[in-house]
Amino acid sequence: MQAGGTTSMGGRAAMGGRTASGGVAGASGRGTAGAASGAGGSGAGSGGSGGMYVGMKTPGTAQAGDITVSPSTTYQTMDGFGIADVWQNKSSSTSALTTLLFDPDQGIGLTLLRIGIDGTSGKPNIMGDAAFVDGPAIVKFGGKVWAAPWSPPANMKDNDNVNNGGHLLTGSYDAWAAVLAAFPAYYKQQSGVDLYAVSAQNEPDFTASYQSCLYDKTQMNNFIKVLAPKLAALNPPVGLLAAEPDVWNNLWSGDSYGTAILNDSSVSPLVTVIATHDYGSNTSSTTRPSPPAGANMTHRVWETEITYSSGAAINAGLDIARGIYAGVTAGGVNGWHYWWTQSFLDGGSATNPPKRVWAMGNFSKFVRPGYVRVGLSGAPSAVQIVPFVSPFDGTTVIVALNSGSSAQQVSFFVAGAGWPASVTPYVTSSSSNLTAGTPIAVSDARFSAPLGAQSITTFVGKP
């Protein structure tokens, strides 16, 4: 989020993120506006560039009380899950940490890395040299690296200060865009990694006492028109990400950065990723504001920063799982990020991770880039469940969150001809850390399993 922020819904913490607080609502969509129960999406579709996996099995028959997974009903294609290393020193990026974060076999398999641009000198520089270690580490496993700026130089702003908000002077649009467009070559020289995208601005709706810069939606669109061609002209071309408002409600309503991008035919094609932060959301909420119809068909939609509850206990894991669930279902995002590694590991370490790390792994380790969110019906209100299917080999991934104090017994039916032969449960709870359980046989496309109290369970199986 920013160099400083509120924590635990309270006061400022130096160089940290801010926790969610107020409530949000909405259903998401891909293709059509959101469906009931925060399903969000377009209904049936191909889901993925090569179409969905087509199985050869005889379809089963659902029974009363089954939760039905519908692979033929497709929503957004996932880009993955990520983290920021802004303001982090490379000494903190140990082999243990990079393995934990980025290795899909030995760790949790994050695939998106957000790094910081310090351009306040008028030249591109890094905002935390951990990026020179983390970038190569995540790319080794097929991940993407992208970068965000916090402020232009003081002499390019109307408050003559890199801190305390202020606006980029109109006459400095081209000069500042040139600095940002020079960053990918600088980072490649230092790390050997090509950037996927550059953000136009971190939190253009938030005046901070540290590096910050304000844009309204018109100013943002005008700056995008200057920056995007410079990024597209690079070799290789670099995408543009915008607008990363502080609160999700300012993406599609309120300040309406995302809506303004989509509604301007000269700007919309210039933007690769429409992004938001999740501050201001209630950690108990299972919904987020919905994108306009078709937004995540024409663009990628990402959540790019949030800090939830502190500490190592399971409540922190439940909060992050609930936030991811809300962002992916109601919010319709293709990609989801936590804030920096420092807060991600709060209460633990790279060798003794807190529960939020394992809970994020319930998604990131198994829901790989290119997987497609698919339809679900019949889930009880006491639990939150979201399924995904690989269009490549038909792997089914079902993530189930039970925040309650009582265990829940559930039965699943996987529709169609690609149902898994068996599923393996991976559980995060007060006593388990993404622990694999005994495989469960799937008979006639059906299986039953318990969801422990205050747990996240991911069921994974192949046809």
Q: What CATH topology corresponds to 37-75+372-461?
A: Immunoglobulin-like (2.60.40)
Identify the CATH number of the domain defined by range 4-27+81-364. Answer: 3.20.20.80
| Alpha-carbon span 402 to 247, nearest angstrom | 26
pLDDT of residue 9: 28
Sign of torsion over alpha carbons 131, 214, 170, 273 = positive
pLDDT of residue 20: 52
Tell me the C-alpha distance between 105 and 95, whole Å: 14
Q: Which residues contact 313 (CB under 8 A, 6 or more apart)?
A: 347, 354, 355, 430
Domain with CATH 2.60.40.1180 in the chain: 37-75+372-461
| pLDDT tens per residue across span 35-73 | 323 333 333 333 334 588 989 999 999 999 999 999 999
Residue pLDDT, tens place only, 425-458: 999 999 999 999 999 999 999 999 999 999 999 9
In this prediction, residue 446 carries a pLDDT of 98
The per-residue pLDDT for 297 is 81
Give the per-residue pLDDT at 6: 32
For the chain, residues classed under CATH 3.20.20.80 are 4-27+81-364
CA–CA dist 389, 392 (Å, integer): 9
Q: How much is the pLDDT for 314? A: 98
Q: Is 406 exposed, middle or buried (0-12, 13-18, 19+ CB in 10 A)?
A: exposed
Alpha-helical runs (H) found in 264-419: 295-298, 314-328, 341-344, 355-364
The region that residue 345 occupies, defined by phi over 0 for left and psi between -120 and 50 for alpha, beta otherwise, is alpha
pLDDT attached to residue 447? 98
Residues of the chain with pLDDT under 70: 1-50
pLDDT given for residue 43 in this prediction:
33
The predicted pLDDT at position 96 comes to 98
Structure pTM? 0.91
Distance CA 49, CA 40 (A): 20
Residues 6+ apart with CB under 8 A from 232: 238, 270
